[in-house]
A and B are shown apart, each in its own frame.
Chain A
Amino acid sequence: QKEVEQNSGPLSVPEGAIASLNCTYSDRGSQSFFWYRQYSGKSPELIMFIYSNGDKEDGRFTAQLNKASQYVSLLIRDSQPSDSATYLCAVNMKYSGYALNFGKGTSLLVTP
């Protein structure tokens, strides 16, 4: 069982809607949380990071962190077809030199 869990999807939303991506993690000592986007055949690219409980907004993206529930989410407002990709949740792993531990990713499809 991976220590970072995501629904694999695919998650399908219509253009203009809000996409909600969820992630849970098992290591209570984790301090840094990241959302990456990966297009097919490409490298992961950072969308957002969050360190503190609560919400963090950046343009159309909002990351939410609840350390008590060990839960982190990503909301994408006004979803566009170009947002169609795999979204990877990543959490730092204290026992592996604070390397990032990735979930398997959630595939998002935004339909026109």
Chain B
Amino acid sequence: IAGITQAPTSQILAAGRRMTLRCTQDMRHNAMYWYRQDLGLGLRLIHYSNTAGTTGKGEVPDGYSVSRANTDDFPLTLASAVPSQTSVYFCASTPSPGTTEAFFGQGTRLTVV
């Protein structure tokens, strides 16, 4: 693993199903983030974690949950997917919150049908 990795790269999901998007980084960054990107709306923050063991809500947290059990992993869970959660999801990390460059994963394209 080099940098930040997301899995899967794409997924078609039936509405009502549970889904976990995985994000792993090997840079020992303290802060990690989940964004969704929709046409015309840009990147919007879903949840963030400034250090292992802590999480916070972003701009659009409803329907999503996260955990940060260790420094490297920051999974995003959709408990019961709805079509409005169709989007491209990006995981990102920074060495420290906000003041340095954010590194992005390659994205997960999720379609909820």
Contacts from A to B (Cβ < 8 Å): 2, 8, 31-32, 34, 42-46, 49, 51, 88, 90, 92-94, 96-105
Contacts A43-B105, A97-B48, A99-B58; A92 near B98 (Cβ below 8 A): yes
In the bound complex, residues from chain B placing their C-beta under 8 Å from that of A46 are: 101-102
Specify which of A32, A34, A46, A98 lies most central, judged by the most chain B CB atoms within 10 Å of its CB. Answer: A98
In the bound complex, residues from chain A placing their C-beta under 8 Å from that of B67 are: none
Total interface residues on B, using CB and 8 Å?
28
In the complex the two chains form, is A97's CB within 8 Å of B50's CB?
A: yes
In the complex the two chains form, is B97's CB within 8 Å of A97's CB?
A: yes
In the complex the two chains form, is A32's CB within 8 Å of B99's CB?
A: yes
In the complex the two chains form, is A99's CB within 8 Å of B42's CB?
A: no
For the complex formed, measure the closest distance between the CB of A37 and the CB atoms of chain B, giving whole angstroms: 12
In the bound complex, residues from chain B placing their C-beta under 8 Å from that of A34 are: 101-102
In the bound complex, residues from chain A placing their C-beta under 8 Å from that of B44 are: 102
Contacts A32-B99, A43-B90, A46-B101; A97 near B40 (Cβ below 8 A): no
Asked if B56 is at the interface (CB within 8 A of a chain A CB), the reply is yes
Specify which of B33, B43, B59, B105 lies most central, judged by the most chain A CB atoms within 10 Å of its CB. Answer: B43
Q: Which residue of A31, A43, A49, A105 contacts B106 across the interface (Cβ within 8 Å)? A: A43
In the complex the two chains form, is A49's CB within 8 Å of B101's CB?
A: yes
Residue of B nearest to A48 (CB): B101
In the complex the two chains form, is B58's CB within 8 Å of A96's CB?
A: yes
Asked if B45 is at the interface (CB within 8 A of a chain A CB), the reply is yes
In the complex the two chains form, is A88's CB within 8 Å of B50's CB?
A: no
Q: Which residue of B56, B106, B107 contacts A96 across the interface (Cβ within 8 Å)? A: B56
Alpha-carbon distance between A42 and B104 when the two chains are bound, in angstroms: 10
Asked if B1 is at the interface (CB within 8 A of a chain A CB), the reply is no
Alpha-carbon distance between A34 and B33 when the two chains are bound, in angstroms: 16
Asked if B41 is at the interface (CB within 8 A of a chain A CB), the reply is yes
Task: Provide 16 A-B residue pairs closer than 8 Å at the C-beta atoms, listed in order of the A residue.
Answer: A2-B42, A43-B107, A44-B90, A90-B102, A92-B98, A93-B45, A97-B48, A97-B56, A97-B98, A98-B50, A99-B98, A100-B102, A101-B45, A102-B42, A102-B43, A104-B41
Asked if B31 is at the interface (CB within 8 A of a chain A CB), the reply is yes
